[in-house]
A and B are shown apart, each in its own frame.
Chain A
Amino acid sequence: MRLLNYIIRRLLLLIPVLLGVSIIVFTLTRITGNPAAAYINEKMSQSQIDQVFERYHFDEPIWTQFIYWLQGVIQGDWGWSRTASLPVTDAILKYFPATFELTILSIIIAVVIGILLGMSSAVRRNKPFDHVTRVVSLIGVSLPIFWLALILQFVFYYQLKWFPAGGRYDISFIISGVPRFTGFLLIDSLMVGNFNLFFNGIYHLILPAVTLSFGTIAIVTRIMRNSMLEVLNLDYIRTARAKGLSDRSVIWKHARKNAMIPTTTVIGLAFGGLLGGAVLTESIFYWPGLGRWSANSIRVLDSTSVIGFCLLVAFIYVIVNLAVDVMYAYLDPRVRLG
């Protein structure tokens, strides 16, 4: 019950934050010169132009415009994406699945590897393994992600030919037909029982997902190492050792679980970095997702699309962090929600 109250309170607090984000975003749309320009082309007659002005209220005071704009956003009218030749909301629906598959896989890779590395590093504190892990994770947070993407592409596609250069699946699948029910390639291919396509999809996912997860691995490793070191010094661990439990059981069963709690918070925050990284990673690996769409929009100065993307990201980011806070309370009973 308390949890439910907390979630409701937090959701209500989202309103001012999202309102603030929309004010920023709206201001951005209106200082880009004439906002009507996106809807008007040279073939239109004066009466059509007048219609555009009337429909989008460009001739009214700025705050009235904001109300109308906000109304539009709430009702799902996010403007027209020139890059996708679709309404922004449709473009988001079209590109979202690809980005979702990519980011989820990256998070899984980052969490699994980061937690393992962090634990091993803490257990072998100040030994060579620890030093190497620390240097690698430092490189991880200092690497320009677009550069890492290019280097991995160079090594694993151009030189070794182990992985494809990019895309979601081999072009040959287009001829035999790519199913499109949910837009999630991995789900759709399983729905029609096309395992070749499923594995091809995973094969194409690996390189971009590894690229995207690299920075997050570094962050998770760091936090996991620190919190593991902290936990290993606690009394209950000494008790566990004293009653004769094996090292393995103490580390894996007793220490790991509690050390993972702070890591969850970081994952929420790292998610933001992941969404930013997706813009760069997707452009390099020809990944038909939100990031590539927004990067293309930037190139052609399609600010309606860029701003739609930002609004979406703000929303996702805020929700993810709320979910993380709730999870935190669930994992650590000492945390009082309030």
Chain B
Amino acid sequence: MTALGLGGLSQELRPRIKELRNSLSLIRENITAMMGLIMVLSIVIIALLAPVIAPPGLGDPMVIPKDFGDPQPPGAPGHLLGTGKWGSDMLYGLVWGARTSITIAVFVVFTAMIVGIMLGALSGYYGGKVDDIIMRLTDVFLSLPALILAMAIASILERTLINLMLALIIVWWPPYARLIRAQVLSVKENTYVEAARAIGASRNRILFKHIVPNSLSPIIVSVTMDMGAVVLVAAGLSYIGFGVETGYAEWGRMVSDGQQFFLSTVYYLGEPINPWWVVVFPGTMILLFTMGFSLLGDSLRDILDPRLRR
């Protein structure tokens, strides 16, 4: 019984696996896609290996260990990439910050996507009043720039990472709802949907088994691009003081913590130096993270669109 079930499953999956293989080989041929993929994978690996690269102390691993001194330059003993505010280790912050960013990106984008898919699918499939209500709701949300709406929401919430992500989810779902609705509207006209209806499949089954899975492909590009974009907005919010406290391993926060030293001089071994690294390093990480996903998403758009192939 089980074997038969699995056989049926693999039967169903076979064309999808073939398609996936095909797409993967196209990614391999595409230079920009590969560059993006390498950037993204490097950051993921850094995040996974964080406890190895920068072993945490006894306390919360997300809080950067510090020795309460002035910033020290890269190469200072025990600090490969130097130190920042309160003598917090840069390398540690950058490495564990990768975990924070990936958490934010995955959590916000996937939750927003699921909410968007649900509402967009209902809106497109049922039409009428449901459609009107959901679409007017997205209109309202889309009439405020994302950063500013997130600011307003975050301004009334307690400053924690979870609340920061919550504020971002609230502003992030409407474009997905729009996208899925448009897809559902066109997919539901297909003959196979009519066939499903003819054999008496329930409305929910038709919607979530037949229509939604076939409406998802344009979302892949959006999801990839948004992974980077959401980290960019999160860093901005965290820079103006939402989200996490000083000393937390989050790149936007690290830039804002380092800012006070950036246009000044500190003394290291009796020599005056400008601590450029306190701002340059975390900012570069944000740039690489966002750019990796933009490169990847941009190339995926071409790869996944069969009309643009070959």
Q: Chain A interface (Cβ within 8 Å of chain B)?
A: 16-18, 20-21, 24-25, 28, 31-32, 138-139, 141-147, 150-151, 153-154, 157-158, 165, 272-273, 275-277, 279-280, 283, 294-295, 297-299, 301, 303, 306-307, 309-310, 313-314, 317-318
Query: A141-B294, A154-B279, A297-B155 known; 9 other A-B pairs, CB under 8 Å?
Result: A138-B294, A144-B239, A150-B262, A273-B145, A298-B155, A298-B241, A306-B151, A306-B152, A309-B148
Contact A276 B228 (CB under 8 A): no
- Can you list 22 A-B contacts with CB-CB less than 8 angstroms, sorted by A residue number? A16-B136, A17-B136, A20-B136, A21-B144, A28-B156, A31-B156, A138-B294, A142-B232, A143-B287, A146-B240, A146-B255, A150-B262, A150-B279, A154-B276, A154-B279, A157-B263, A158-B274, A272-B145, A294-B151, A298-B240, A306-B152, A310-B152
- CB atoms of B151 and A310 under 8 A apart: yes
Residue B137 at the chain A interface, CB threshold 8 Å: yes
Instruction: Please give, as numbers and ranges, the residues of chain A lying within 8 Å of B134 by CB-CB distance.
Output: none
Interface mask (B249-290 → A, CB under 8 Å = 1, otherwise 0): 000100110010011000000000010100110010011001
Of B149, B242, B256, B259, the contact of A298 (CB 8 Å cutoff): B242
Cα A17 to Cα B140 in complex, Å, equals 5
For B274, what are the chain A residues with a Cβ–Cβ distance below 8 Å? 158
Kindly state the interface size class of chain B when it binds its partner: 35 or more
Contacts of A273 in B (CB 8 A): 145, 147
B255 touches A275 (CB 8 A): no
A153, B263: Cβ atoms closer than 8 Å = yes
Q: Smallest distance from the beta carbon of A200 to chain B beta carbons, Å?
A: 21
With A21-B140, A28-B156 known to touch, is A317 a contact of B145 (CB < 8 Å)?
Answer: yes
Q: How far is the CB of A136 from chain B (nearest CB, A)?
A: 11
List, in ascending order, chain B residues with CB within 8 A of A142's CB. 228, 232, 287, 290-291, 294
Q: A-B pairs with CB below 8 Å: how many?
A: 135
- Bound-complex Cα distance A298 to B240 (A): 8
For the residues of A in contact with B, the DSSP-based class is helix
Cα distance, A301 to B156, chains bound together (Å): 8
How far does the alpha carbon of A303 sit from the alpha carbon of B153 in the complex, in Å?
10
CA distance A295 to B238 in the complex (A): 12
Q: Is the CB of B283 within 8 A of A147?
A: yes
| Contact (Cβ within 8 A) A144 B240 | no
Task: Judge if B298 is at the interface, Cβ distance under 8 Å.
Answer: yes
Which chain A residue has the least Cβ–Cβ distance from B140? Answer: A20
Query: Which residues of chain B have C-beta atoms less than 8 A from A295's C-beta?
Result: 240
Q: Does B143 have its Cβ within 8 Å of any Cβ on chain A?
A: yes
Distance A153 CA – B280 CA, assembled complex (angstroms): 13
CB distance from A90 to the nearest CB of B (A): 20
B287 touches A307 (CB 8 A): no
Q: Is residue B64 contacting chain A, with contact meaning CB distance below 8 A? A: no
Asked whether, in the complex, the Cβ of A279 is within 8 Å of the Cβ of B147, the reply is yes
Question: In the complex, are the beta carbons of B294 and A306 less than 8 A apart?
Answer: no
What is the CB-to-nearest-CB distance from A53 to chain B, in angstroms, rounded to a whole number? 21
A307 touching B152 in the complex, CB below 8 Å, given contacts A17-B139, A145-B236 = yes
When chains A and B are docked, how far (Å) is the Cα of A275 from the Cα of B143? 13
Closest to B284 in A: A147
B236 adjacent to A146 (CB under 8 Å): yes
